[in-house]
Structures are given as structure tokens and as C-alpha cells.
């Protein structure tokens, strides 16, 4: 079976011409999949019955199934647990903002980067997601809510640059004018920092917003939180981010999860200020979300504001991330973990 949902328009044209079909059929099918978000060939009513049957026999349209859904009573955030056709589960989150609906998508089943504070990485990586599956995280949420999704952040489970090709394919499909047509400035890819992939990403002609999970002002502290820091020194990671900004003109966001007694004191803030000084950088401060498996705690409000103020002295703009869906296991990978540990029933009743 050929997955035609991950095909670009050009690839779809080739696929159909091999079936003896005209090129405009590819445009029709692309529109059914990516504009009208249909889930079966039967719905493609402007195709002949014979073509629909032929497609049914040779092609597939991966569709995610909702296994569990938690809706925040505080802010309407919706956290989805989806199952894939092979039985694996992933999570995606819909956040409602004044500027529109934003979906946080997973790029892998699990993750192998091992960040100490993150629930997604505890069981390691199971497999990469296909572009069609990442896309359907967005489409499935649109089908479920009947609302348009205007923003996407690739900040769910997984390291997007560890699944580089499929993530870039996903981004090309998401921004295709004949499909979802999402604006590039409304899409953010977040990475733990793999310099050669950041540089390669700068060379793609897609100019997506880039966020770096920095989380520390120096290599020593970073290594305590992120094993990937043993592989790539901060100097190289930041140089790659600078190259990204230079090439694309997109200001890089530096994410910094504040962890009490690890990286949240004023001296860390000052170090961070010196590190980023002179860069056109935006820092996003995230009070760490405690997960059951680890003892990391967020700093109190006062320490958070002191950190922000210390950064301001270096001319660094820092926003504090508003917590969304705090009542529904909002942090990365927590819903999937409770599903894996307690089985389906546990996840549904918790």
C-alpha cells in the first residue's frame, strides 16, 4: 500500500500518471486530502468509481484515532491521545489563543534525547512518525473541533531533527497553498540543538520559526539537564542558530525551562544575559513542569521575576510562558506515559 497522504503534489502526479490518469486528478485528490481533510477514497466524489476502487486497492490515507481526550476546565486546552495504525500512541495538544488555534504536534513516538526533566523520553524512542501522521495530528483536531488550526508548534514528543526528512516533508505539505496553506511565520520547530541539522534546515527554502531548547547558560549546567550537550558544545549550537537567523531573517527563540536549584538563580540569569548579549534573541522562560518520575521543581514567582529582570539588564527580552491546561497533564508526554503504565482504562479515568 502506498501512503499518498505524505506525497507532494508532484509525487502524486507521478503516482497517478503511472496509473494512466491525467495530472488534474492529482490536484483533485490533493485537495480532498489536504483542503477538505477527507479520510477515505469514497468521499472523493468527483473521481470515477473505478479510480476510487483502484485507489482503495493500492493506496492508503493514514488516519489517527482518538483514544483519549482531556479538556481543560481552566482554558479550553484540549489534549489528545491518538492511536496510529500500528497501535502506538502519541499525544497532541490544541491551545486556544486570542490570535488563533495552535496545535503542538509530536514528531516521533517517544524520544531518544534523554532530557532529564521530560516525560516523553523515559521509554526511549519507538519510531519516527511519517509526515502523513504528523499532518493528521492537525487534521484530526480540525475534524474533531470543526475549527481551523492557524498555528503549529513542533514541540510535542520527539526531536524533530532526529526525524529530519519527514518533518521537512510535513512542513512543505502544511504550507502548500493548495492544501492547509499555513503561514510559515505561524509555524515553529523546536530542537534540542543539533548543529548540522540546524544549518541544513537553514538551507531549505521554508524559513520556519526556529526555537532552541537552551535551558542553561553554560555547558556544565546544560549537561546536567540534557545529555545531548555532551555531544555538541553550546558554542557550536549557538553558531548554528546565528547562521539560521542570518540566512532566514527569522529571530530565533531560546527556550529556558527554569528548574529550582539547577538553573534558576540570578547568577545563571546573568550568565545567560552575557551569553546572548548582542544577539537578536527572544528568551522564553518556562517554569519546569514537574513530572512524576523526576524530582525537578519550578522556582517560585519571585525568583522567576528576578530572573527575567536580570536578563533585561543585558537588553534581553524574555517572556514567561503562560501555563496552559495545567489541570490536564499539560507537560510533554505525560498523558502517553500514564496510558502506557496504566493501560487504556487508567488513562481514561485518571
Cite the active site residues: 91, 332
Residues in contact with 187: Cβ distance below 8 Å, sequence separation at least 6, in sequence order: 151, 152, 153, 154, 171, 174, 175, 208, 209
As a residue count, the chain comes to 350
Q: Where are the alpha helices (DSSP H) in 146-233?
A: 164-174, 195-203, 219-225
Gap between the Cα atoms of 116 and 224, Å rounded: 8
Task: Output phi, psi for 139, to 5 deg.
Answer: -65, -40
Q: Would you count residue 234 as binding ligand SAH (CB under 6 A)?
A: no
Site for ligand SAH in 40-79 (CB under 6 A): none
State the DSSP string of 100-147. EEEEE--SEEE-SS--TT-GGGTT-EEEEPPHHHHHHHHHHHHHHH--
Q: Would you count residue 188 as binding ligand SAH (CB under 6 A)?
A: no
Cα 147–Cα 209–Cα 323 angle in degrees, nearest 5: 60
Question: Judged by CB under 6 A, which stretch of 2-10, 50-58, 74-82, 185-193 contacts ligand SAH?
Answer: 185-193
Question: Judged by CB under 6 A, which stretch of 63-71, 83-91, 114-122, 163-171 contacts ligand SAH?
Answer: 114-122
Question: Judged by CB under 6 A, which stretch of 95-103, 125-133, 188-196, 341-349 contacts ligand SAH?
Answer: 188-196
Q: Would you count residue 252 as binding ligand SAH (CB under 6 A)?
A: no
Q: Which helix (H) or strand (E) holds 13?
A: helix 9-18
Q: Would you count residue 105 as binding ligand SAH (CB under 6 A)?
A: no
Gap between the Cα atoms of 226 and 75, Å rounded: 31
Candidates 103, 129, 269, 332; binder of ligand SAH (CB under 6 A) is 332
Report the greatest alpha carbon distance in the chain: 69
Q: Shortest approach of ligand SAH to residue 260 CB, angstroms?
A: 12
Q: Would you count residue 257 as binding ligand SAH (CB under 6 A)?
A: yes
Q: Would you count residue 240 as binding ligand SAH (CB under 6 A)?
A: no
Candidates 30, 117, 164, 232; binder of ligand SAH (CB under 6 A) is 117
Q: Would you count residue 316 as binding ligand SAH (CB under 6 A)?
A: no
Q: Would you count residue 238 as binding ligand SAH (CB under 6 A)?
A: no
Give the footprint of ligand SAH on this chain (CB under 6 A): 113, 115, 117-118, 155, 159, 190-192, 213, 255, 257, 286, 288-289, 291, 331-332
Amino acid at each position: 500500500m502506498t501512503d499518498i497522504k505524505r506525497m507532494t503534489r508532484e509525487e502524486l502526479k507521478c503516482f497517478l500518471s503511472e496509473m494512466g490518469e491525467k495530472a488534474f486528478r492529482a490536484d483533485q485528490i490533493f485537495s480532498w486530502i489536504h483542503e477538505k481533510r477527507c479520510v477515505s477514497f469514497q468521499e472523493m466524489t468527483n473521481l470515477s468509481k473505478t479510480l476510487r476502487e483502484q485507489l482503495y486497492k493500492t493506496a492508503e490515507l493514514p488516519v489517527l484515532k482518538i483514544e483519549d481526550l482531556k479538556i481543560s476546565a481552566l482554558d479550553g486546552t484540549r489534549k489528545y491521545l491518538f492511536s496510529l495504525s500500528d497501535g502506538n500512541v502519541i499525544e497532541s495538544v490544541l491551545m486556544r489563543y486570542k490570535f488563533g488555534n495552535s496545535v503542538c504536534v509530536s514528531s516521533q513516538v517517544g524520544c531518544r534525547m534523554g532530557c532529564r526533566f521530560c516525560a516523553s523520553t523515559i521509554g526511549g524512542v519507538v519510531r519516527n512518525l511519517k509526515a502523513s501522521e504528523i499532518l493528521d495530528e492537525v487534521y484530526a483536531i480540525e475534524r474533531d473541533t470543526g475549527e481551523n488550526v492557524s498555528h503549529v508548534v513542533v514541540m510535542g514528543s520527539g526531536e524533530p531533527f532526529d526525524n529530519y526528512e519527514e518533518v521537512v516533508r510535513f512542513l512543505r505539505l502544511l504550507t502548500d497553498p493548495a492544501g492547509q496553506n499555513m503561514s510559515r511565520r505561524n509555524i515553529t520547530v523546536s530542537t534540542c540543538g543539533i548543529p548540522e541539522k540546524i544549518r541544513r534546515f537553514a538551507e531549505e527554502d521554508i524559513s520556519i520559526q526556529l526555537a532552541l531548547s537552551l535551558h542553561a547558560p553554560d555547558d556544565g549546567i546544560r549537561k546536567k539537564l540534557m545529555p545531548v550537550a555532551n555531544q555538541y558544545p553550546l558554542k557550536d549550537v549557538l553558531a548554528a542558530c546565528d547562521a539560521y537567523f542570518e540566512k532566514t531573517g527569522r529571530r530565533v527563540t531560546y527556550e529556558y525551562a527554569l528548574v529550582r536549584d539547577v538553573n534558576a538563580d540570578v547568577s545563571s540569569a546573568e550568565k545567560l544575559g552575557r551569553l546572548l548579549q548582542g544577539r537578536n534573541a527572544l528568551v522564553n522562560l518556562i517554569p519546569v513542569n514537574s513530572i512524576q518520575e523526576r524530582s525537578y521543581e519550578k522556582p517560585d514567582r519571585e525568583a522567576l521575576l528576578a530572573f527575567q529582570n536580570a536578563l533585561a539588564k543585558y537588553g534581553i527580552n524574555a517572556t514567561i510562558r503562560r501555563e496552559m491546561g495545567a489541570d490536564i497533564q499539560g507537560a510533554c508526554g505525560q498523558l502517553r506515559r500514564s496510558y502506557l503504565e496504566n493501560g487504556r482504562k487508567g488513562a481514561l479515568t485518571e
